[in-house]
Amino acid sequence: MQIGIGYDVHRLVAGRKLVLGGVLIPFEKGLLGHSDADVLVHAVCDALLGAAGLGDIGLHFPDTDLQYKNISSLTLLAETTAMIRNKGFSVRNIDTVIFAEAPKINPFREKMRENLAATVEVDPGCINIKATTTEGLGIIGKGEGIGAMSVALLEK
Ligand SMILES: [Zn+2]
8 Å CB contact between 5 and 46: yes
User: Which pLDDT value is given to residue 70?
Assistant: 86
CA of 2 to the centre of ligand 1 (A): 23
Output the CA 154–ligand 1 centroid distance in Å. Answer: 22
Note the pLDDT of residue 65.
86
Instruction: Calculate how far, in angstroms, residue 9's C-alpha sits from the geometric centre of ligand 1.
Output: 6
- CA distances 4 to 98, 116, 155, Å, are 17, 17, 12
pLDDT value, residue 11? 98
- Residue 109 Cα to ligand 1 midpoint, Å, equals 19
Burial status of residue 43 (CB atoms within 10 A of its CB: 0-12, 13-18, 19 or more): buried
Mean pLDDT to the nearest integer, 133-154: 97
Q: Please write the tens of the pLDDT for every residue from 57-68.
A: 999 999 888 888
Report the share of the chain in percent with pLDDT over 90: 94
Mean pLDDT (the chain) is: 97
Q: Across residues 71-89, what is the average pLDDT?
A: 97
Q: What is the DSSP string of 60-103?
A: HS-TT-GGGTT--HHHHHHHHHHHHHHTT-EEEEEEEEEE-SSS
Do the beta carbons of residue 108 and residue 20 sit within 8 Å? yes
**Which comes out higher in pLDDT, residue 62 or 129?**
129
> Which of 65-69, 75-79, 152-156 shows the lowest mean pLDDT across its residues?
65-69
Can you give the pTM of this predicted structure?
A: 0.97
Q: Give me the pLDDT at residue 67, please.
A: 87
CA of 133 from ligand 1 middle (Å) equals: 19
Three-state secondary structure readout of 98-149:
EECCCCCCHHHHHHHHHHHHHHHCCCHHHEEEEEECCCCCHHHHCCCEEEEE
Phi, psi angles (nearest 5°) of residue 21:
60, 30
Instruction: Give the distance (Å) from ligand 1 centre to CA of residue 147.
Output: 9
CA of 34 to the centre of ligand 1 (A): 9
The DSSP letter of residue 153 is E
State percent of the chain over pLDDT 70: 100
Give 5-58 pLDDT, tens digit per residue. 999 999 999 999 999 999 999 999 999 999 999 999 999 999 999 999 999 999
